[in-house]
Amino acid sequence: MGAAAHRGRHASDAAVDETDAPDDDEPTLLRLQRRLFSDAALALDATRRARLLGWLLPLAVTAFGGIIRFWRLGVPHNLVFDETYYVKEAYSMLVRGYEASWGQDPNPRFEAGDVSMLQVDPEYVVHPPVGKWMIALGIQLGGGVTSSFAWRLSVAVCGTLAILMIARIGRRLFASTALGTLAGLFLAVDGQAIVHSRVSLLDPFLMFFCLAAFGFLLLDRDQARHRLAVRAAAVLDSGGQLGDGPGLGIRWWRLAAAVSLGLAIGTKWSGMYFLALFGLMSVAWDMSARRAVGVRHWVRAGVVRDGVVAGVSMVLISAAVYLASWTGWFLSKDGWGRQWAAENPGQGVQWLPPALRSLWKYHQDMWHFHVTLETPHAYQANPLGWIVQWRATSYFYPTDISGLQGSAALHACGAKACSQAITALGNPLIWWGGAAAALVAVFWLIRFRDWRAGAVLSGIVAGWFPWFMYMHRTIFTFYSVAFVPWVVLTLVYLLGLLIGPQTPGEERSRSLAIVWVSAFATLVVAVGAFFYPVWTAWVIPYDQWHLRMWLQSWV
């Protein structure tokens, strides 16, 4: 562990030793850049070959992940799990502008391509519209409502793009194309990521927008540090005093993150936790940067020069994007609760315009639903077990397959009994390894102040911890798809610590570590291949299905 600590400590650009004496022969700008970035980060795009591989390798694992997501995407041609809500609601929004009612038992007719039972009366729904608009876009572009491929097109596209995003994010975060590509590979073969790239729920869009925001904030971190180095060097070279440090101008990448987080909140309200934590993390990065260049009162400077502006701008932009996502509801006359203010004069928040007063009342009702939902469900799960995928969620297990007997079963799967399943369950090696890696990351964050440890943990904290406040509710392990990218990044962070940087004298131990990490990655892919049939509705012998149920709680 001592060797890993030595390698990990020197691999980051985190902590700054303010006792280091400046080298009189070193240009001020270079000295500040070396304080703000690791040598590996500064050299990441130094050559054309490095830049080319930085795209080719992530694109390769993205193509691989896309194949296993898009292959047989339309199977089954049934509304799976909560697709019964979101796919039909998405189509309704496409043609009505709001979620309308479908009457009694509409699924068989809908699956057959009959949408004539769509009514004008509104349906009471409890999630914002962005995710459903995304599904609607896929239906529009993918062949129409009669195609189950079209139902799932948007989640498949977002799930595939997430692989490219995490590979590029990991490359920037760890200053390593190899580790970034490994992160992309792990996300490509994770069960939660695969299932939710093939079933149209809202949670994969929440994950996508939060991951995009995280990537934008990493870009902002690097851009802000480059600006700070240049502007601080100019002040110091002119003989001036830094004071609170120079201003950093308009932070376009941070504003892009705010837009993405507004879309996340417009998908599911749990995106608000990502907004809060990511905003604080971004300001903490600014504080550490000002400290690194020599700002004496760096906490105050970080709050005054960066924190207030960041907080106000991110919250306001996210709120504006969220409000804009309700445009279809605003433009309609018949959306749920749209006329509440007109029908209830003198009630609600009186200073708001009628449309906003109606929307506020609708949000109050939605909030009440969410905090009081306690209906028992066979697959509800305590959030404590999510990080190790203790309780799987069965999305699809049709009796017309499991009930086959005799020659019918033999013809369908080559055995006496068959199974067909879609089980929302992560790749066990990724999640079990990620849980252990999270403990290591906490230690590294406290002991070595490694900013990368805080970064990889941020999404786990934002996506997982808040659910402990709602343990009385009916909640499910599949909610963990929102933070699966950070479980992957945390695992890759640990593997990166084990490999360490290229240090003279440690070539042999580093080569051995690379061999072990490569073997582990191969095993992760093999486990993904093993579980793939129960993630993607293959018809397989019952014994083969049961062989994959390693824990009774997965059944």
Task: Give the span between the Cα atoms of 179 and 490, in whole angstroms.
Answer: 11
Q: What is the pLDDT of residues 358-390, one digit of tens each?
A: 999 999 999 999 999 889 999 999 999 999 999
Task: Give the span between the Cα atoms of 508 and 495, in whole angstroms.
Answer: 17
Tell me how crowded residue 161 is: count the other CB atoms within 10 A of its CB.
17
At which residue do the structure tokens 């904290």 appear?
Answer: 461
Task: Give the span between the Cα atoms of 274 and 267, in whole angstroms.
Answer: 13
Task: Give the span between the Cα atoms of 442 and 448, in whole angstroms.
Answer: 10
Task: Give the span between the Cα atoms of 213 and 317, in whole angstroms.
Answer: 13
Determine the pLDDT at residue 9. 44
- Exposure string for 308-341, b = 16+ CB within 10 A, e = fewer: ebbbebbbebbeebbeebbebbbebeebbbbebb
pLDDT at 340 over 70: yes
Task: Give the span between the Cα atoms of 196 and 205, in whole angstroms.
Answer: 9
Task: Give the span between the Cα atoms of 229 and 290, in whole angstroms.
Answer: 9
Domain assignment of residue 545, yes or no: yes
β-pairing verdict for 539-541 and 418-420: antiparallel
pLDDT above 70 covers a percentage of the chain that reads 96
Domain boundary at 151, 178, 201, which? 201
Under the banding of pLDDT at 50, 70 and 90, the label for residue 15 is very low
Determine the pLDDT at residue 3. 47
Q: What is the pLDDT of residues 131-141, one digit of tens each?
A: 999 999 999 99
- In the predicted model, what is the mean pLDDT of residues 195-201? 99
Residue type, 500: G
289: closest CA among 312, 309, 311, 305?
305
User: Helix/strand/coil (H, E, C) string of 221-249?
Assistant: HHHHHHHHHHHHHHHHHCCCCCCCCCCCC
Domain assignment of residue 333, yes or no: no
pLDDT at 2 over 80: no
Pair of tokens at residue 58: 């992530």
Q: Are 165 and 119 in contact (CB under 8 A)?
A: no
- In the predicted model, what is the mean pLDDT of residues 185-205? 99
- Exposure string for 184-212, b = 16+ CB within 10 A, e = fewer: bbbbbbbbbbbbbbbbbbbbbbbbbbbbb
Domain assignment of residue 361, yes or no: no
Under the banding of pLDDT at 50, 70 and 90, the label for residue 504 is confident
Q: What is the pLDDT of residues 477-486, one digit of tens each?
A: 999 999 999 9
Task: Give the span between the Cα atoms of 507 and 7, in whole angstroms.
Answer: 12
- In the predicted model, what is the mean pLDDT of residues 451-468? 99
Query: Taking the mean position of all CA atoms in its chain, how far away is CA 327?
Result: 25
Q: What is the pLDDT of residues 143-161, one digit of tens each?
A: 999 999 999 999 999 999 9
Q: How many domains does the chain have?
A: 2
Kindly write down the DSSP assignment for every residue of 307-338, as one continuous string. IHHHHHHHHHHHHHHHHHTTHHHHH-SSSTTT
At which residue do the structure tokens 């093993």 appear?
Answer: 530
- In this prediction the pTM is 0.95
Determine the pLDDT at residue 25. 73
Domain assignment of residue 451, yes or no: yes
Task: Give the span between the Cα atoms of 9 and 333, in whole angstroms.
Answer: 60
Determine the pLDDT at residue 20. 45
pLDDT at 507 over 90: no
Higher pLDDT, 498 or 13: 498
Q: Are 204 and 484 in contact (CB under 8 A)?
A: no
Domain assignment of residue 513, yes or no: yes
Give the ranges where 144-246 is alpha helix by DSSP (H). 148-174, 177-188, 191-195, 203-237
pLDDT at 69 over 50: yes
Helix axes 177-188, 48-70, angle to 10 degrees: 0
- In the predicted model, what is the mean pLDDT of residues 76-104? 97
Determine the pLDDT at residue 4. 53
416: closest CA among 549, 537, 543?
543
CA dihedral in degrees (426, 427, 431, 436; nearest 10)?
170
Q: Is 406 exposed, middle or buried (0-12, 13-18, 19+ CB in 10 A)?
A: exposed
Under the banding of pLDDT at 50, 70 and 90, the label for residue 10 is very low
Determine the pLDDT at residue 505. 80
Task: Give the span between the Cα atoms of 184 and 82, in whole angstroms.
Answer: 27
Determine the pLDDT at residue 157. 99
pLDDT at 446 over 90: yes
Under the banding of pLDDT at 50, 70 and 90, the label for residue 502 is confident
Under the banding of pLDDT at 50, 70 and 90, the label for residue 1 is very low
Domain assignment of residue 209, yes or no: no
Domain that holds residue 97: 47-201
Q: Are 100 and 149 in contact (CB under 8 A)?
A: no
What are the distances in angstroms from CA 507 to CA 287, 380, 495, 514?
36, 49, 16, 10
Task: Give the span between the Cα atoms of 78 and 87, in whole angstroms.
Answer: 11
Task: Give the span between the Cα atoms of 452 and 295, in whole angstroms.
Answer: 22
Domain assignment of residue 292, yes or no: no
Domain boundary at 201, 221, 250, which? 201
Among the ranges given (1-5, 295-299, 497-501), the one the predictor scored with the smallest mean pLDDT: 1-5
Under the banding of pLDDT at 50, 70 and 90, the label for residue 21 is very low
Consecutive H or E run containing 264: helix 252-265
Task: Give the span between the Cα atoms of 385 and 431, in whole angstroms.
Answer: 11
Residue 422 backbone dihedrals phi, psi, to 5 degrees: -120, 110
Domain assignment of residue 353, yes or no: no
Helix (H, G, I), strand (E, B) or coil at 422: strand
User: Helix/strand/coil (H, E, C) string of 54-94?
Assistant: HHHHHHHHHHHHHHHHHCCCCCCCCCCCCHHHHHHHHHHHH
CA dihedral in degrees (100, 104, 110, 116; nearest 10)?
-60
Determine the pLDDT at residue 23. 54
Residue type, 52: L
Domain boundary at 173, 201, 229, which? 201
pLDDT at 24 over 70: no
Q: What is the pLDDT of residues 247-269, one digit of tens each?
A: 999 999 999 999 999 999 999 99
Q: Are 221 and 285 in contact (CB under 8 A)?
A: yes
Tell me how crowded residue 282 is: count the other CB atoms within 10 A of its CB.
25
Pair of tokens at residue 188: 């490509």
Q: What is the pLDDT of residues 387-443, one digit of tens each?
A: 999 999 999 999 999 999 999 999 999 999 999 999 999 999 999 999 999 999 999
- In the predicted model, what is the mean pLDDT of residues 105-129? 97
